[in-house]
Amino acid sequence: MSRKTHPTRINVDVSESTKSFILAYKDKHRCVTQAEAIDQIVKELEDQDTKELVADQIAQATANYVIEGLKRQYLDPLRIRTGYADKQTKVLIQMMNHLMVKGDFDDPNIITTDVHSSTALKVSEEKIQKEIEHFKQRKNTREATREGRQETSD
């Protein structure tokens, strides 16, 4: 027997198809007895389960590695930038509230931007739009430079 243990006798009833499978396996793998064939089948199943477990662990480790790489490269800077913008917005809200209260502008009949936009707001919006366009242009230039380097290294 191939399992290097003392054999244990069991009496089992199996279907004809199972018996045919065991006999075919025995002939194909040159087993001396049906018991040896069954032992080898069990060993193959155990090995297969172990390989699947290892494959799952490798897949999980790879997924974690990729996720960490994406976090460092894309998600963390995005969170930082978003947090910075959110922080700045909150600061502005607090300052505007102070100006409204101290400047005695706290009127229930406010004029919203859909009714009228101040010149200061329009100028500020234009400045921000220009900054966004500038950042996009810088990003596109960096990407083009990077792609140019990759083409020359290929």
87-111 confidence digits (pLDDT tens): 777 777 777 877 777 777 777 777 7
Residue 43 and residue 64: Cα distance in Å, rounded? 32
Q: Which residue has the higher pLDDT, 100 or 60?
A: 60
Residue type, 144: A
DSSP for 90-118 reads HHHHHHHHHHHHHTT---SSPPPTTT---
Give the pLDDT confidence of 127-145 residue by residue, as tens digits: 888 888 888 888 888 888 8
Q: Are 2 and 34 within 8 A, CB to CB?
A: no
Give the pLDDT confidence of 2-47 residue by residue, as tens digits: 456 778 888 889 999 999 999 999 999 999 999 999 999 999 998 8
Question: Would you call 108 helix, strand, or coil by DSSP?
Answer: coil
Per 3-state DSSP, the chain is made up of helix, strand and coil in percentages (nearest 5) of: 75, 0, 25
Q: Kindly report whether the global pTM for this prediction surpasses the value 0.75.
A: no
